[in-house]
Amino acid sequence: MVPASCRTEIARNSEQCTAGAGDLWLPGRACRLKPQHGKRRRRELPAKRGVIYVLTNRYFARNIVKIGMTERTATLRARELSTATGVPDDFEVAYEQIVSDAITVESKVHELLADYRLNKRREFFQLPTMKAIEVVRSVAAEYLVDEENEADEIDVLPGFESRMRRWLRSDLVAVSYHQFSDLCVVKWVTQPDLSSEGAIEHIFDLSVIAGHPLESVPPYDGRWFSPVRNTPEENARELLVLDAYSMIMTGLDILSEEAMRYVADLWELHKTEPPIQLSWRVVEQRLDMWGNNEYPSVDS
């Protein structure tokens, strides 16, 4: 449970749905109508930005991958799927890409890989992971988001270091906030191996965090980090004071394993909200100095 003071509401599972009169709405996906006269019709929806992903699971049969889309992050979607009954182990993200029209990209990929699909009502395919990634990447290339020209970017790593340096993961090398006309995301870069320049860029869609305290102030779009209501600078400041427990629960993985355990124990075991600003004080001083200083001899 997220602390009440942060008013954070974890977005519902994107696969939950509600049925209406003659249609079925899946959040983030096209609206499918019941077939009439044996044919299925699809209602056209506006292009919507999202993430196309490829997931794997080491306990599935060889070369089984899941290819789908989400309006949040592939990491969070993988976590949701991993909690389902009958899943022997966690799903892992093999590939993810933000695209300008996630519904169309997903549909085109599924059409291209129709011969590899295990069940027409499921998003599982049997083919080598790298081949699946190549197909997804080739289709996504036509719908890439022009991040350089479209987004406002703010470096927030110095702010996080000032606030909680001790809690940040040791392989973290960059954290930045990006605001598009309809999307707010955080990107962080990790460098797992010090001996290699290879790094991993993680992308987190902040729309997963809903229920802003200013929800009664128009224009309101239901999001804590709103590209409609707030300027990039205002959203960046909101990000820098986001409580650590909400980071953990939503998949904003910039904290170390040690910090995540500590924060979770504070709230779940002791019902204590983690501090927003960490503090410290010197309780011991250890001298370790080199130089030409002369010290008294042991015989004096």
Same domain? 226 vs 175: yes
Number of domains composing the chain: 2
Same domain? 156 vs 248: yes
At 298 the pLDDT is 55
The residue with tokens 């990039």 is 232
Q: pLDDT per residue over 148-207, tens digit each?
A: 666 789 999 999 999 999 999 999 999 999 988 778 899 999 999 989 899 999 999 898
* Cβ atoms of residues 70 and 14 within 8 Å: yes
Same domain? 163 vs 262: yes
Residue 8 has pLDDT above 80, yes or no: no
C-alpha separations of 47 from 87, 101, 153, 161, 179 in Å: 32, 5, 23, 37, 18
> Which H or E element spans position 99?
strand 92-99
Same domain? 201 vs 186: yes
Same domain? 182 vs 253: yes
Domain that holds residue 115: 46-145
Q: pLDDT per residue over 130-160, tens digit each?
A: 999 999 999 999 998 775 666 789 999 999 9
Q: Is residue 280 part of a domain?
A: no
Q: Is residue 291 part of a domain?
A: no
Which comes out higher in pLDDT, residue 196 or 229?
Answer: 196
| Boundary of a domain, candidates 101, 123, 145 | 145
DSSP 25: E
Residue 29 has pLDDT above 80, yes or no: no
Same domain? 185 vs 134: no
The DSSP bridge partners found for residue 210 are 9, 223
Residues 6+ apart with CB under 8 A from 267: 1, 3, 245, 273, 274
Residues 6+ apart with CB under 8 A from 109: 52, 67, 135, 136, 139
At 89 the pLDDT is 82
Same domain? 153 vs 257: yes
Same domain? 207 vs 242: yes
| Boundary of a domain, candidates 77, 111, 145 | 145
Q: Is residue 285 part of a domain?
A: no
Q: Is residue 175 part of a domain?
A: yes
Q: Which of 225, 224, 236 is nearest to 176 (CA)?
A: 236
| Boundary of a domain, candidates 95, 111, 145 | 145
Same domain? 202 vs 260: yes
Same domain? 197 vs 215: yes
C-beta neighbour count of 259 within 10 angstroms: 20
How high is the mean pLDDT of the chain? 78
Same domain? 127 vs 166: no
Same domain? 213 vs 168: yes
Q: pLDDT per residue over 277-289, tens digit each?
A: 888 899 988 887 7
Q: Is residue 275 part of a domain?
A: no
Q: Is residue 98 part of a domain?
A: yes
Instruction: Look at residue 279 and give its three-state secondary structure.
Output: coil
* Cβ atoms of residues 51 and 98 within 8 Å: yes
Q: Is 213 exposed, middle or buried (0-12, 13-18, 19+ CB in 10 A)?
A: exposed
Q: How far is 109 from 101, CA to CA, in rounded Å?
A: 12
Q: Is residue 19 part of a domain?
A: no
